[in-house]
Structure 1
Amino acid sequence: MAASRLHNTEEDLNGESGSEASSIYQSGSVISTVPDRHGFLGGSQYSPERKQAIPPEVILRRERKWIRMLNNWNVFMTTNYRKVRERCRKGIPPSVRLRAWLNLCGGELLMKENPNLYEELLMRPGDPKYIEDIKKDLHRQFPHHEMFVENAPGQQELFQVLKAYSILNSKVGYCQAQAPIAAFLLMHMPAIQAFWCLVAVCDKYLVGYYSQEMETLQRDGDILFALLKRVSPVAYKHLKKQKMEPILYMTEWFLCVYTRTLPWESILRVWDMFLCEGVKVIFKVGLVLLKCCLGRTSLTKRCPTMYETLQVLRNPPHQIMEEEALVYQIQRLNLSEEDFEYEHQRQTLRRKAKDQASLPTANGNN
């Protein structure tokens, strides 16, 4: 099972040939049964390969640096975080990504502090409502990946991870957007490690995102929109003119951390940075997508109504989302830590004032 989480060997990719051995019919279209190096069957939105492969000697050099860093993790994180961040931005080598992600998000520490908790959670029955909702969503997660095709073992692991989290954090329980994140993590690591990474992501990085009221997500949508005014006035004016609330286009981006949006190589790079730098990476990716989709008047003219605008934002051109192009645009954004902090405080205060204004007055009148 663990081997399928990493990319396949050349022998796997160049195995049996012929249309009968290499493809099946699904929903009227031919889909290859030979997985790509990430485990996806052909025809998936995630299948396109990177345009420029990194030379093997560069990968080997990066692997050695990462191994040294992981073996001295606490020292690097406390005395040389900039080096860690720089290496995450370049992309973590696949061979060490599991260890790197576990250390970056704090999952490794959580696992050591709670050595038997995951197994104990699996023994508990769980809330019937959450259990039913989880079961309904299992078949929807990456159905073209070899781990999650019908009756594949990955679906049972996914069920267990999501169930365990719903018991551990019963206040949050289960939210549909957690499923693609848990499935994504399971492609890279065993279930117990995927569980603790999911706990870290939900409870540390995306605090409040999965509440029923979605207040945190709405506030972050306002922050995104305010930052867009600085990054791309053209896109900002277009969305404001069409009165499009950010929640309409950024919900899936933020809740699923782009696991349902970007090509696979791009998702991996975004997560390398996200687990290192935090939620601001999600904002930066969103700003790049908005700017590249709507940042010129020639582009906004093609979106005369909200319908066309949503279509473009839900299906950005592939060249915008390609790994190196996306990372390049992220790094070009002229936004400081102070910009993020300022907008966070401003939008938080703005929402508090709005909530207080909507409360009943002292004499009982609204």
Structure 2
Amino acid sequence: MAASGSRENEEDLNGDSGSEASSIFQSGSVISTVPDRHGFLGGAQYSPEPRQIVPPEVILRRERKWLRMLGKWNNFMSANYRKVRERCRKGIPPSVRPRAWLYLCGGKLLMDENPHLYAELIARPGDPKYIEDIRKDLHRQFPQHEMFVENAPGQQELFQVLKAYSILNSKVGYCQAQAPIAAFLLMHMPAVQAFWCLVAVCDKYLVGYYSQGMETLQRDGDILFALLKRVSPVAYKHLKKQKMEPILYMTEWFLCVYTRTLPWESILRVWDMFLCEGVKIIFKVGLVLLKGCLGRSTLTKHCPTMYETLQQLRNPPHQLMEEEMLVNQIHRLKLSEEDFEYEHQRQVVRRKSKDQAPPQPTMNGTD
């Protein structure tokens, strides 16, 4: 399954509110000048201190397991993928997360196969139309992070990573939704590694997301909506009654892989699973949010019109987005691999039939 971004949607991603985080972080509190543990100057707005869920000795034990696994990566992925998936679902220890992400997405393999390509790409001038768009977007990406405050070195690295990708894959070029993903990766690893992770994510995980047009995004929205009927009939009926197209509420979720939606700790856990299990994690997070926002009649009664429904979806309950709650809800979804494949194939066939249907005759005003 894939989804496709459209330049028509870019104003939604980087409009007037693009210079700030998702509305869940707009607390109006005084911005701290001391970065938190993730590098944000906004303190609790972005990444409130979590409860100590995992004891330090457990984290240390997990680190050792991950280091052994990374040392024999090909063997583990080919012979013991279930163990890799299990450890990703538990959460990758922060100390090994950058290296693990690089290996999980295949960025390490790409980097080893093309050791000098990134340096060559950033030395090239690039397509002027993409260069101009990239420069316009630099200040909008996590502006309260120490790497991306005005004139910080991270902005130049972000420019180079995005420019390099637009040259490498000139057919796709640059789409604004790539910028928060590239910035997010740069917070965790050197620029060359972030670049190859971005290449893997865009060209392997999210094939078609950033292409011109909206067909694949609309199809994936239909898949999401069909799956919602299975996991939350109440939410499904409410959205159907209001005739809300999925593209109205899932575009930013899918295109930015929740980097502009969730609290920071939750984003990290989602990406641990996403890079291991693929695009179905994007669907599962979306289903959890839809169910948590609209899955009970006590919730839908407060959303009499499309406006209130969109406000509810743009401001999910804080407890729903909390790291452990979100992950638990993802695992509790009663969806199999077969369910995803069935809905994918069904929507492909439905759209193909629709495209091949003969045009309907129109009235010309004569008998």
State the shift of 1:358 in Å.
5.9
AA in 1 matched with 2:210: Y
- What TM-score does the superposition give when structure 1 sets the normalisation length? 0.89
Paired residue secondary structure (1:94): coil
1:170 maps to: 170
Alignment size in residue pairs: 335
Paired residue secondary structure (1:32): coil
1:47 and 1:76 map into 2 onto residues whose CA distance is 33
Q: Kindly indicate whether the alpha-carbon contact (under 8 Å) linking 2:31 and 2:43 is maintained by their aligned counterparts in 1.
A: yes
Q: Kindly indicate whether the alpha-carbon contact (under 8 Å) linking 1:44 and 1:144 is maintained by their aligned counterparts in 2.
A: no
2:360 and 2:188 map into 1 onto residues whose CA distance is 51
1:22 maps to: none
2:97 maps to: 97
AA in 2 matched with 1:242: Q
Residue 187 (structure 1) aligned with residue 183 (structure 2): no
Q: Deviations over 1:50-72 (max 9, x none)?
A: 23342110110000000000001
Q: Kindly indicate whether the alpha-carbon contact (under 8 Å) linking 1:49 and 1:265 is maintained by their aligned counterparts in 2.
A: no
State the shift of 1:317 in Å.
1.2
Residues 136 and 312 of structure 1: CA distance in aligned 2, closer, same or farther (over 3 Å) = same
Q: Kindly indicate whether the alpha-carbon contact (under 8 Å) linking 2:35 and 2:43 is maintained by their aligned counterparts in 1.
A: no
1:234 maps to: 234
1:215 maps to: 215
Higher RCO (C-alpha 8 Å, min separation 6): 2
When the two chains are superposed, the root-mean-square deviation of aligned CA atoms in Å is 1.5
Q: Which runs of 5+ in 2 are unaligned?
A: 1-26, 362-367
Paired residue secondary structure (1:31): coil
Counterpart mapping for 1:143-292 below 5 A: 143-292=143-292
Residues 134 and 355 of structure 1: CA distance in aligned 2, closer, same or farther (over 3 Å) = same
Q: Deviations over 1:196-227 (max 9, x none)?
A: 00000000000001112021111111000000
2:47 maps to: 47
Q: Deviations over 1:283-326 (max 9, x none)?
A: 00000000000000000001000000001111111111000000
Residues 78 and 134 of structure 1: CA distance in aligned 2, closer, same or farther (over 3 Å) = same
State the shift of 1:28 in Å.
8.4
1:277 and 1:108 map into 2 onto residues whose CA distance is 17
1:236 and 1:358 map into 2 onto residues whose CA distance is 31
Paired residue secondary structure (1:30): coil
**Identical amino acids, percent of aligned pairs:** 88
Residues 29 and 306 of structure 1: CA distance in aligned 2, closer, same or farther (over 3 Å) = same
AA in 2 matched with 1:72: K
AA in 1 matched with 2:187: M
- What TM-score does the superposition give when structure 2 sets the normalisation length? 0.89
1:153 and 1:301 map into 2 onto residues whose CA distance is 48
Residues 97 and 252 of structure 1: CA distance in aligned 2, closer, same or farther (over 3 Å) = same
AA in 2 matched with 1:234: V
Greater CA drift, 302-311 or 49-58: 49-58
1:13 maps to: none
2:220 and 2:126 map into 1 onto residues whose CA distance is 31
State the shift of 1:157 in Å.
0.2
2:258 and 2:107 map into 1 onto residues whose CA distance is 20
Paired residue secondary structure (2:30): strand
1:58 and 1:132 map into 2 onto residues whose CA distance is 47
Q: Which runs of 5+ in 1 are unaligned?
A: 1-26, 362-366
1:15 maps to: none
1:52 and 1:150 map into 2 onto residues whose CA distance is 33
2:331 maps to: 331
1:358 and 1:55 map into 2 onto residues whose CA distance is 63
State the shift of 1:43 in Å.
5.0
AA in 1 matched with 2:89: R
1:23 maps to: none
